[in-house]
A and B are shown apart, each in its own frame.
Chain A
């Protein structure tokens, strides 16, 4: 049993070493993704383009505009004649925020009950909307900031750097993508090239074939984890606060779940192309419902239930816990057993569906 399993694993590693494209993907996909996500995605939005229509035109109103510009939240790129023109600029997408200061600005400041001006905000981009709303909290120039109700104290990522939020989850996204795809293709390729017809006339058992096929990819997955952690530490200063052994353990459970999913995909696909399509199909729900893109807490109940089934959800919680909060894996056991159950269920499904027959 073990000998046959190892023979298949050994053969798979040999073939992998000779398959330059796949080998390139093992290193290339993580590098590319981490650079893209690390550099291009910054949740701290700055320099939203804005225009001003200042009908008051007093020294105070000019100071206000200057301090809005100085906050770097908005960048005032033009001025407009009035609210109508601001609206027009919003419609045509030339600005995302319009600042209108009415002629009675000074009186409103003294009055203190009414807002002193108006913000016209592009609500079609939720992030811009959220950031621009922050402008309305801005204190008037020369005045003390309003008294705060609570003093916020942000733990784990006080500078609110995006890579710290993104990289731990990104490890899971990259692993899911490569692991599911590699295994799905690895089996389908044997079928496409006719190797499977030969293999199934040998005494190989389906379980040996399945386990032998995924063993090399567990190692490859762990290599990818190492690569991502090293690069993100070096380029983006993403911390590893917990134990690295815990991270490897958590990754291994997640890799196993992803590989089992890949094997199941392979039993449905007839060609490598179909395997790829099906992989993308499994990829979307994972990205959207795992809490990687959107906060889990904000999703409707039904979506949360589905999310709980998805391995990536649990891995995102595990890796954020271990990397960012420095939690020990034992304290996160609630996220581990769903991964193991997922692995077991899909392994059984794949093994049952894989018949040693051609029909």
Chain B
């Protein structure tokens, strides 16, 4: 891909005392796309995002955002980014329009365009009915739309969202993503962190973070294709027994339960994953239907974090 780069980071590191929250990550985030940070809580997503916004000073590494060095030129970057914090951070004791007016002024929207800008945002983010309601009384989804409206008033080139949908119902989440796609189409670069697999799947590109490291990076489809493991789906009435049995088998790296089904991930060296699994289950006398399937993003996540842990252990041993 030869498109221009919105964010690039080399060896980005943040240490808090003995804890290394972000461990030498390299990033290249293209413009006008939705880029995802996927990882569990404590994987360093928020810390990385805060460094990219210039809110935290990196312990080591270089960052360039929209062509500006961060943190050196952080103040210039701040005019061109919109940042939506994990926790709702607008004023709960101000109304929807009061919050937006305040932010628009702070972002330097000219006085004669203030009303137009605020009205436009209220309409665009479906807050017309709530416009004179206090922010504290909004629902989770409304608060989130208000926060997004506030972060986009000044038409930023880069929008950074830290777990935007963690307190929101599924329908609101879908609506929210529709808005994000719209923004990306208009040319905004969107960086979004999440711990939801289905959200990660919607991103154009994705970095999986685990314990402060980028353990996998690429387009979701490519990541799934290049998983480097066999994925076997097992449907059984005795998932517990099947799991216990499979976890003891050499060549099976992990077993995860997805509703009534199990996903067993087998090592690359295993030539016939399906055969290995079905034989093992037969021997253990567990009745099950077995099929090789396409990996999903969760499988990718499990494999990548597992590799990271194994490397961590061997590094410690060496």
Contacts and interface: CB of A to CB of B under 8 A. Distances in A.
Interface of A: 3-4, 7-8, 10-11, 14-15, 18-19, 193-204, 356-359
Contact of A14 (B54, B89, B94, B108): B94
Contacts of A11: 91, 94, 98, 102
B105 A194 contact: no
A257 B91 CA distance: 28
B106 interface: yes
A201 B55 contact: yes
Nearest to B101: A7
A201 B57 contact: no
A11 B90 CA distance: 12
A179 to B, nearest CB: 21
Interface in B90-107: 90-94, 98, 102-103, 105-107
A197 B57 contact: no
B106 A194 contact: no
Chain B interface mostly: loop
Interface stretch (B77-85, B119-127, B195-203, B210-218): B77-85
Contact of B107 (A8, A202, A358): A202
A7 B54 CA distance: 24
A7 B91 CA distance: 14
B75 interface: yes
Given A198-B85, A359-B57, 6 more contacts: A11-B91, A11-B94, A15-B91, A195-B90, A198-B89, A199-B106
Nearest to A15: B93
A336 to B, nearest CB: 34
B106 A202 contact: yes
B93 A18 contact: yes
A203 B83 CA distance: 12
B94 A201 contact: no
Interface in B254-292: none
B81 A201 contact: yes
5 contacts: A195-B91, A198-B85, A202-B107, A203-B107, A357-B55
Contacts of A7: 102, 105-106
Contacts, number: 75
A47 B79 CA distance: 71
CB-CB nearest 4 A-B residue pairs: A198-B89, A7-B105, A201-B83, A194-B89
Given A201-B78, A203-B75, A359-B56, A195 B106 contact: no
Q: How large is the interface on B (under 10, 10 to 19, 20 to 34, 35 or more residues)?
A: 20 to 34
Interface string B63-84: 0000000010011001101010
Nearest to B150: A198
Contacts of A3: 105, 108, 111
Contact of B106 (A15, A18, A204): A204
B53 interface: yes
A334 B81 CA distance: 49
B78 A14 contact: no
Contacts of B106: 4, 7-8, 199, 202-204
A203 B108 contact: yes
Contacts of A359: 56-57
A196 B93 CA distance: 15
Contacts of A204: 106
Contacts of B181: none
A10 B89 CA distance: 18
B155 interface: no
A284 to B, nearest CB: 32
A345 B107 CA distance: 29
B50 interface: yes
B87 interface: yes
A193 B150 CA distance: 17
Contacts of A357: 54-57, 71
Given A7-B105, A203-B79, A197 B85 contact: yes
Contacts of B55: 197, 200-201, 356-358
